[in-house]
Amino acid sequence: MSPARLLPLLALAALGLFLAANLGRPQQATIRSAMVGKPVPAFALPGLGDRPGLASTDLGGGEGPVLVNFFASWCLPCRVEAPQLKALADAGIPIHGIALRDSPEDIRAFLARHGDPFRRIGLDRDGQAAIAFGSSGVPETFLVDGRGVIRLQHQGEIRPEQVAEILREARRWR
Amino acid sequence: MIPSPAELGHLALWLAAATALVMAAAPLHAALAGLARPAAVTHGLLLVAAYAAMTHAFLVSDFSVSLVATNSHTAKPLLYKVTGVWANHEGSMLLWVLILGLAGLAVALVPLPLGPAFRARTLGSLGVVALGFLAFLLFASNPFARLDPAPPEGLGLNPLLQDPGLAFHPPTLYLGYVGLVVAFALAVAALLDGKVGPAWAKATRPWVTLAWAFLTLGIALGSWWAYYELGWGGWWFWDPVENAALMPWLAATALLHSIRVLETRDALRNWTLMLAIAGFALSMLGTFIVRSGLLTSVHAFAVDPTRGLFLLALLVGLTAWALLVWALRAPKVAEGARFAATSREGLLVVNNLLLMALLAIVFIGTLYPLALEAWNGRQISVGPPYFNATTVPLVLLLAVLMGVGPFLAWKRGATKGLGRRLLLPGLLATLAALAMLGLLGVTGVLTLLGFAAAAWLAVASLQLLARRGLTLGRAGTALAHLGVALTILGATASGALQREALVSLRVGEGFEIAGFTVTLEDVAPKAGPNWTALEATLAVQREGAPVATLRPQSRTYTSPPMETTEAGIAMWRAGDLYGVLGKPDGSGRWQIHFWVKPLIHFIWWGALLMAAGGVLALGGALRFAQLGRRRPAARAAPVPLPAE
Amino acid sequence: MAVRVALLALLLAAAAPAPPPVDPALGRTPLADPAAEAQAMRLMHELRCLTCQNQSIADSNAEQAEAMRALVRSRIAAGESPEAVRADLIARYGDWVSFRPPARPDTLALWAVPALALLVGGLVVRRLFR
């Protein structure tokens, strides 16, 4: 038997191994932002009326790193992550919020109910700031360092056990 | 206590597994060989019983069966109770083994001129495959799993699946897949026997033809369903689930042609066997891709990695076994007769080459994002721009050769009068391209070539039909090729001549598109048996005269709660006017997505014609096989074919 | 290192002109200029909706897709080329957002498949006719 006859069998084995190795890991479950490592995109969002909005010029003014949290009052996981955001704010990291496709009244009600860890809140009514950040949903949190460069993207809600890791990252980019 | 039908169905499934074991063991010892046929018949009947029990559970809404509770509802229309059996993972796998069982029953009963040992081996291979799938059903996705206590009401069927087009898509596709399993079993038996030649090809070709025809129909049904149900106006998205069905079809198409060469010229033996194995492996890979949730698809299916692993083990195990037999036995099955490059079989080899290149593109294109992300973590999308750019030139080249091939003689080189014969198709192809360029202002090179290729192939196929001495087989070839021409025409025209508008309108407002005036006359609520909807009324006029009224809906189903869009479609000539109602914008305007799609129906008419051609050719092959049996001498001699 | 990053950031910030304002209504309404609308449509069919399963932003009803449509149409109306808009979105979401795979060393194998398949197949066939 010539060894070439075994080529199909080898190809099958390779395919089988490849597919098996990828089975547990669903493909492209989350689309990561390509903005990590790049400066914050230019944006300027209005505020809630009684408090200032958020613009790219508010980020990276030389002080320590800040978190930018995309949230919405209609988003369930955002409620789940509220205590963790509070913990991060209490640890001394400034957090700014960007509310996605939301109304000031709903946001106020949300903050009254679930707590308000935010320094500034920008209203992203039509989702353009989210696109500028390369964000694909809420909740999502970006770490921006003192020079205004995006250092980290956290997709989905921040779970209690992830708070320490985010604190560590924030200290790293001080 | 009398066991319930569902319990009996479960029992029948276990007994079917036992009979599959007998089928698999029969060829191992001469004393057992006689058991193969009765075992296969019993196996088939047991699966009919199991399937009937499941259908009964759906019909009487027996919610103590978990599958019925999660996928049915008392308020569901009767048709969807029947089709609901296979509109879910477990039930569709049950249908799969039922069809496989019926195929085994057929193999046990039809005349098979290659001897009892060959039949026992074929049934043995089928038994091995059936055993694998029954193990999958019984251990990893038991359709008869019970709920205690039974819930008072079921959860209902995904409304997207409550549709006649989709209801019959899976059985059709499965008939195709199972046909390929039979071809696989015949190939393994032939390898074990060492008897690969025209007689084997003759016995196998009807199965391949049948499988191919059903795959063609199944894919066409799926495409048609996606077109009118998903409401995006597209008919093919190069989605992983679609590609999963396309790959076995490409292999089956290649097999269909290479087995002709084997039958008439006793050549391409190893290659044909390899294609039979590949066709099976690819249909398994398709099932795996669809059921494992490995790739992101628009056609969302229940995802379960454990089941995926089981299916993968089946795919690799069964295929590895066949490839091992091939590696060990194929050298004994010499490649066969030689022939000139410009003979008909020469062109059929080129046809196989192009089909394999298409298969490679679809295969690599589908799996590449997964491989790249595993390799360096980078996420890419491989979508229509890639697949269209790579496959269209090959398909056009294939169409050109398909116009020539049937006019060539077997074995010999250049054929006299070929140029004269191709004059008319060539002329009309040029005319078609020029007309599109001049009259309709179509400029894309590939588009013009698409029109030309469709005209070329259509005229050449019609010429083939018009020739003297028409046999069933040749009529089948001509029809199938004509079908390909029509599909190419429909795909090219609906792409190049399509007009699309995405607008938002107040009631009473309208817009102009491709010579039509479309007016949004009304948006009103409407209620169906298990849904409520907002229905828009779109009046379409052309030159002041009404052409059609479209009623697209935005539906909300009650059980399970789900929102869908129902496109409003009206046929206009051989094309469609296609409207979709979107969301209101909050200021009294409604979003309307509207398309004019000329000639799009040719895509599915072409596929129907392909399948019909396959059935005609099948008739020819069966009649031929019978003639061969009556006159044994005719089988030994090279098959007589009219010199062309 | 830190200084270099800061400089780079400044450079990038200076080099990137402020994007033209996006009109959210353009997520739902076509551009008045049919040629520009056709350009936008062609591009929207090749951009992937982020929150959907394998759907283009032209086909999707999702709000995210609507926002991306508004961006595409606004940019094209402002005179940007479709390829520039595509490149900008790739800069934010990576190559995943475009249905047309990039041409890079690590996608060479993908783009070479047709030629490779024909070449290998051709060699096998040649042996057959020899």
Nearest-CA neighbor of C40 among C90, C78, C2, C91? C78
Question: Is the per-residue pLDDT at B278 higher than 80?
Answer: yes
Examine the domain organization and report whether B15 and B65 are in the same domain.
yes
What is the distance in angstroms between the Cα of B258 and the nearest Cα belonging to chain C?
13
Q: Is residue B460 part of a domain?
A: yes
Question: Is the per-residue pLDDT at B73 higher than 90?
Answer: no
Query: A53-58 — which CB contacts under 8 Å span 24+ positions?
Result: A53/A120, A53/A121, A53/A122, A53/A123, A54/A96, A54/A97, A54/A98, A54/A120, A54/A121, A54/A122, A55/A122, A56/A148, A58/A96, A58/A120
Q: Any idea what DSSP says for residue B137?
A: I
A→C contacts (Cβ < 8 Å), by residue, are 28, 31-35, 38-39, 41-42, 60, 101, 125-128, 130-134, 136-137, 147-149
Q: Is A157 helix (H, G, I), strand (E, B) or coil?
A: coil
Percent of chain A with pLDDT over 70: 95
Q: Any idea what DSSP says for residue B29?
A: S
Report the range of poorest mean pLDDT among B4-18, B404-418, B558-572. Answer: B404-418
**Rounded CA gap, B190 and B196, in Å?**
6
What is the distance in angstroms between the Cα of B369 and the nearest Cα belonging to chain C?
9
Return the pLDDT at B168.
Answer: 85
What is the distance in angstroms between the Cα of A71 and the nearest Cα belonging to chain B?
23
Examine the domain organization and report whether B484 and B513 are in the same domain.
no
B368 and C101 in contact by Cβ < 8 A?
Answer: yes
What is the distance in angstroms between the Cα of A155 and the nearest Cα belonging to chain C?
13
Residues A18-40: tens digit of each pLDDT:
988 887 665 556 788 999 999 99
With contact defined as beta carbons under 8 Å apart, do A96 and A116 qualify? no
A19 and B312 in contact by Cβ < 8 A?
Answer: yes
Q: Is A35 helix (H, G, I), strand (E, B) or coil?
A: coil
| Average confidence (pLDDT) over B604-609 | 96
Structure tokens, C19: 């994007």
Percent of chain C with pLDDT over 70: 82
Examine the domain organization and report whether B544 and B591 are in the same domain.
yes
| Average confidence (pLDDT) over A44-72 | 87
Choose among A33, A41, A126: nearest Cβ to C22.
A126
**Rounded CA gap, A17 and B371, in Å?**
12
Q: Is residue B403 part of a domain?
A: yes
Structure tokens, B353: 């080459």
Residues of C in Cβ contact (< 8 Å) with A147: 5-6, 9
Neighbouring chains of B at 3+ CB pairs under 8 Å are A, C
Q: Is residue B528 part of a domain?
A: yes
Residues of C in Cβ contact (< 8 Å) with A126: 22, 24, 27, 67, 70
* List of residues 6+ apart from A77 with CB closer than 8 A: A138, A139, A156, A157
What is the distance in angstroms between the Cα of C95 and the nearest Cα belonging to chain B?
5
Choose among C5, C9, C93: nearest Cβ to A34.
C93
With contact defined as beta carbons under 8 Å apart, do B441 and B578 qualify? no
Return the pLDDT at B632.
Answer: 42
Examine the domain organization and report whether B493 and B564 are in the same domain.
no
Structure tokens, B610: 């392909």
Structure tokens, B165: 């087009």
Return the pLDDT at B485.
Answer: 97
| Average confidence (pLDDT) over B259-272 | 89
What is the distance in angstroms between the Cα of A17 and the nearest Cα belonging to chain C?
20
Using pLDDT thresholds of 50, 70 and 90, give the confidence band for residue B302.
low
Q: Is residue B640 part of a domain?
A: no
Choose among B296, B298, B382: nearest Cβ to C101.
B382
Return the pLDDT at B164.
Answer: 75
Neighbouring chains of C at 3+ CB pairs under 8 Å are A, B
Count CB-CB contacts under 10 A for residue B56.
18
| Average confidence (pLDDT) over A65-86 | 92
**Rounded CA gap, A133 and A31, in Å?**
12
- B250 contact A CB<8A: no
State how many domains chain B has. Answer: 3
What is the distance in angstroms between the Cα of B502 and the nearest Cα belonging to chain C?
6
Instruction: Report domain extents, chain A.
Output: 33-172
Choose among C53, C58, C101: nearest Cβ to B381.
C101
Return the pLDDT at C19.
Answer: 62
- Which residue from B minimizes the CA distance to C60? B232
Examine the domain organization and report whether B464 and B448 are in the same domain.
yes
With contact defined as beta carbons under 8 Å apart, do B98 and B86 qualify? no
More confident residue, B448 or C1: B448
Using pLDDT thresholds of 50, 70 and 90, give the confidence band for residue C7.
very low
Examine the domain organization and report whether B149 and B35 are in the same domain.
yes
C9 and A39 in contact by Cβ < 8 A?
Answer: yes
Examine the domain organization and report whether B551 and B563 are in the same domain.
yes
CATH 3.40.30.10 fits A33-172, yes or no: yes
Nearest-CA neighbor of C20 among C96, C102, C84, C116? C84
Question: Is the per-residue pLDDT at B636 higher than 80?
Answer: no
Residues B147-171: tens digit of each pLDDT:
888 888 888 777 766 777 778 888 8
Examine the domain organization and report whether B582 and B437 are in the same domain.
no
Return the pLDDT at C90.
Answer: 95
Examine the domain organization and report whether B47 and B118 are in the same domain.
yes
Q: Is residue B102 part of a domain?
A: yes
| Average confidence (pLDDT) over B219-224 | 92
**Rounded CA gap, A125 and A122, in Å?**
9
| Average confidence (pLDDT) over B534-545 | 93
Choose among B293, B312, B379: nearest Cβ to A26.
B293
Q: Which residue, chain included where needed, has tokens 């075994």?
A: A6
Average pLDDT value for chain B:
87
Amino acid letter for position B282: L
How do beta strands A54-55 and A44-45 pair? Answer: antiparallel
B300 and C94 in contact by Cβ < 8 A?
Answer: no
Question: Is the per-residue pLDDT at C39 higher than 50?
Answer: yes
Examine the domain organization and report whether B14 and B144 are in the same domain.
yes
| Average confidence (pLDDT) over B225-240 | 85
| Average confidence (pLDDT) over C4-25 | 57
Residues B480-513: tens digit of each pLDDT:
999 999 999 999 999 888 888 888 889 999 999 9
More confident residue, C127 or B43: B43
Q: Is B55 helix (H, G, I), strand (E, B) or coil?
A: helix
Nearest-CA neighbor of A93 among A142, A25, A161? A142
- Which residue from A minimizes the CA distance to C23? A126
Choose among A39, A132, A148: nearest Cβ to C92.
A132
Overall size of chain B counted in residues: 644
From B162, B178, B209, the end of a domain falls on: B162
Return the pLDDT at B301.
Answer: 56
With contact defined as beta carbons under 8 Å apart, do B346 and A31 qualify? no
Nearest-CA neighbor of B132 among B106, B160, B100? B100
Question: Is the per-residue pLDDT at B282 higher than 90?
Answer: yes
Q: Is residue B27 part of a domain?
A: yes
Q: Is residue B253 part of a domain?
A: no
Examine the domain organization and report whether B147 and B120 are in the same domain.
yes
Using pLDDT thresholds of 50, 70 and 90, give the confidence band for residue B514.
confident
- Which residue from C minimizes the CA distance to B341? C129
Q: Is residue B5 part of a domain?
A: yes
Examine the domain organization and report whether B473 and B527 are in the same domain.
no
**Rounded CA gap, B25 and B633, in Å?**
35
**Rounded CA gap, B266 and A50, in Å?**
86
Structural domain containing residue B111 = 1-162
Using pLDDT thresholds of 50, 70 and 90, give the confidence band for residue C5.
very low
